[in-house]
Amino acid sequence: MKPEETVIEVENLTKKFGDFTAVNEISFKTYKGEIFGFLGANGAGKTTAMKMLIGISKPTSGEASVTGLDVFSQPDQIKKNIGYMSQKFSMYDDLTIKENITFFGGIYGLDRKTIKNKIKQIIESLGLEEVANKLVGALPLGWKQKLAFSVALLHDPKIVFLDEPTGGVDPITRRQFWELIYKQASQGTTIFVTTHYMDEAEYCDRVSIMVEGKIEALDTPKNLKTEYKVDSMDGVFLKLARNIE
């Protein structure tokens, strides 16, 4: 990965809820076309950190910019330039595939012609021709997730945030999902992904591991494994967690 164009730049970013410091002075950068894994146990602060980056939570202190826009002063601009897919499957079950795409295209301000092209493109690339007019609720979870990913990319954002996108899916579907992620990254989209699955961490270009509000490790999976002298990311994670305790 050539570190060229910076997409996210974070310096000493902190978020406090009263006395509790959820995110404690974290700093990192992500680059164009990079798959950046954002790891951490539940409660480690990764969701809070991500919420600050996607403009729905105001940081307490520090600095951060996403696609060159400041998270303090330009959260509304940031929202237009990012894609987001949450851990809960996030499309409308009672709308058809076409209606869902039309709706989300509409709220991102795409014009009718663009939406039409996008519908065609998504349905073709995911092979959904036969179910295009079916309600999304009737689709298997794996298809829904691929669809949600495509919808998150509707407005061609420079970066897409995936919040535990593969929760509750079987390994085969997960692998297919990761193929989509790779394809998108190779086209220059930055992928910012949080995950519980350590095998998925191996697929990332670089990973950061958060423990109790701080980033304790940040490197490529290969370097991390060498540094901690283990043969899997699982090992790295366990060692880190124990050191803290």
The stretch among 30-38, 82-90, 182-190, 208-216 that binds another protein (CB under 8 A) is 82-90
Q: Count of residues binding another protein (CB under 8 A)?
A: 30
| The one among 14, 24, 27, 87 contacting another protein by CB under 8 A | 87
Binding flag, residue 76, another protein (CB under 8 A): yes
Give the residue, chosen from 4, 19, 94, 245, that forms a contact with another protein under the rule CB under 8 A: 94
Residues 128-157 that bind another protein (CB under 8 A): 135
Residue 58 contacts another protein per CB under 8 A: yes
The answer to whether residues 50 and 22 touch, using CB atoms and an 8 Å cutoff, is no
DSSP assignment letter at 91: S
Q: Which stretch binds another protein (CB under 8 A): 38-46, 78-86, 209-217, 219-227?
A: 78-86
Residue 89 or 228 having the CB closest to another protein: 89
Cα-Cα-Cα-Cα torsion 87, 27, 223, 161, nearest 10 degrees, comes to 20
Chain positions 96 to 115 lying near another protein, rule: CB under 8 A, are 99, 102-104, 106-109
For residues 159 and 90, give the distance between their C-alpha atoms in angstroms, rounded to a whole number: 18
Q: How far is the CB of 154 from another protein (least distance, A)?
A: 10
* Tokens 């079950």, residue located: 93
Q: Least distance to another protein from the beta carbon of 104, Å?
A: 8
CA atoms lying within 13 Å on the CB side of residue 125:
16
CB under 8 Å to 105, separation ≥6 — which residues?
Answer: 114, 115, 118, 154, 155
d(CA 211, CA 228): 16
- Residue 88 C-beta: closest distance to another protein, Å: 3
The residue among 8 and 85 lying less far from another protein, judged by its C-beta, is: 85
Minimum distance from residue 90 beta carbon to another protein (Å): 5
Edge to edge, the sheet with strand 214-219 lists 82-85, 159-163, 190-195, 35-40, 206-211, 214-219
Residues 61 and 25: their CA atoms lie apart, in Å, by 8
Q: Based on the shown chain and the rule CB under 8 A, indicate whether residue 126 belongs to the binding site for another protein.
A: no
User: Does the footprint of another protein cover residue 88 (CB under 8 A)?
Assistant: yes
- Six token digits for residue 180: 């989509």
Per DSSP bridges, beta strands 6-17 and 82-85 are unpaired
State the residues that interact with another protein by CB under 8 A.
54-58, 76, 79-80, 82, 84-95, 99, 102-104, 106-109, 135
